Amino acid sequence: MCSRHKLLTFAFIFILFVVFPSKIFSQVVINEFSPSEEWVELYNLSPELINITGWTLSDEVNPPKTLSGTIGSYPSGYFVYQNSGNWLNNDTDTVTLTRGDGTTHTIPYGKSGGICKPNDGNTQSIGSLSDGQASEDKFDRFSVATEGSDNSGGTLNPCSTPTPASTPTPTSTPTKTPTPAPTSTPTPSATLRASPTPVATLTKTPTSQPTQTNLAQEAGPVENLVLGLRNELNPAPSSSSEAAETGRKFPVFPVILIISGLLCIGGAIFAFVKNAKSN
């Protein structure tokens, strides 16, 4: 039974490493590191030993550090890499584990809004709050490092949460309204405009043909007398003129004037003859 159990365990481990190597490798994570002491601790969450030969640790600028050896199984799966020279930056840097299958685990520090850096000159470290937690938000600063042992027993020196700077509320400055300068109203200058010269419109007035009767009425007594005598001396009008004169009114007033004139002449002649006989 014992041999059979070992055979099944071996087969299970073989399947895990051959068929699902990434599932095994991903159980190894960065657990704690000290920039000032130049060491990095890895932790294995797998219940089996894992050969990490050929895996690398790197920062942002220096060449990767190649690992060699085997990491223990859970719950005592600690592996500490110690560097002999200057490697990690004390102020700000990034630690990256590259596993055998190419997957990585990265923890930055000293970045804005991230894990704060350890104090200079101290043996402080940065580590997971509980062994094996890979998430960056589960890391913090330790005042006393727990290299090669359980992180839960370490003393924390938490990074202070930066107080957001209060943004001053801009006070609105009243804008001085400029007083408008009095504007002088220009006096309109008298402009002499030439009045258009009226153009006389000639209206054609129909000219009434004066009739002989109207002329006789407008003329004085002497003109009527001469007109009457002139009419007697003129030859008789043509038939067409007679027809036109027939339709005219008979000149009574001129005839009366003529008779009166003849009577006056006759009376004068009679008086002259009488005076001549008496003498």
Structure-token match 């200079």, residue found = 120
Question: What b/e readout covers 69-88, taking b as 16+ CB neighbours within 10 angstroms?
Answer: eebeeeeebbbebeeeeebb
pLDDT digit string (tens) for 248-258?
Answer: 566 778 888 88
Q: Does residue 94 carry a pLDDT above 80?
A: yes
Average pLDDT rounded to a whole number, residues 77-85: 94
What contacts 206, CB < 8 A, 6 or more positions away? none
Higher pLDDT, 78 or 228: 78
pTM of the model: 0.52
| DSSP letter assigned to residue 258 | H
* pLDDT for 49: 94
* Segment among 98-102, 184-188, 206-210, 266-270 with least mean pLDDT: 206-210
List CB contacts of 131: < 8 A, sequence separation 6 or more.
31, 43, 75, 150, 151, 152
**Contact criterion met (CB below 8 Å) for 21 and 101:** yes
Are the CB atoms for 128 and 140 separated by under 8 Å?
A: no
Residue 34 backbone zone (phi > 0: left; psi -120 to 50: alpha; other: beta): beta
| Per-residue pLDDT at 201 | 47
Residue 95: the pLDDT is 97
Q: What pLDDT does residue 65 have?
A: 97
